[in-house]
Amino acid sequence: MSVRPAWEVRENEGTTRWFEFRLVFGDGARIDALAVVGGGCVCVEEVRAQPALSLDDLAVLADWVEDSVAEACEPGAGPDARGGQGRRARPAWPRGQEGSQLVAREYRAAQREGADPVLAVMGATGHSRRASLRLIGQARDAGLLSPRRARR
C-alpha cells in the first residue's frame, strides 16, 4: 500500500491537492487510484483495478481513500510520520447480526425523532455515508428494517 502526493495547486487562500494510491495484493491483484482534495471534500477521480472491482469493493476503497487522505493531509505528516496515529478514531462496532440490530435501532430512533436516519447511523458507527448506507442495506436484507420501496 502506498500514498503519494502527486501535485498541488494553490489559489488565493485555498489549496487543491492530488494523491496517487496503489494497493498491491499477494495474489497479484492491484488497484491504482487518483484522488483530489479541495474545498473540504475528497473526490476519487480515477480507479484502475486488475481484476475489476465489485460495487462493494469500490465502497470499501472509497473509505480507505478517505482515511488515507485524512492521514496524508495532517500537518507534518511526511512519509516518515505516517502510521496508524493519523486515522480517525472510530467507536468499536460489532459485525454481523449484532451490528445490524444496532444499526436498525439507531435508524428507527432517528426516524421517530424526525432526524436524518443515515446521519444517525453515521454518528453511531463513525463510518462514512457510503459505509453507513451499506450497513443500513445489510440491516434491510436481514429483515430488521422495512424495504426501501414498496414493490408493486
Per-residue model confidence as pLDDT tens digits over 75-96: 544 433 335 344 444 556 677 8
* pLDDT tens per residue, range 35-70: 888 777 778 888 888 888 777 777 777 777 777 776
Contact (Cβ atoms closer than 8 angstroms) between residue 110 and residue 98:
no
Q: What is the pTM of this model?
A: 0.45
- In SS3 terms, 8-66 reads as EEEECCEEEEEEEEEEECCCCCEEEEEEEEECCEEEEEEEEEECCCCHHHHHHHHHHHH
- β-pairing verdict for 14-24 and 2-11: antiparallel
* pLDDT tens per residue, range 102-117: 899 999 998 898 888 8
Domain ranges across the chain = 2-86, 96-141
Decide: helix, strand or coil at residue 126. Answer: coil
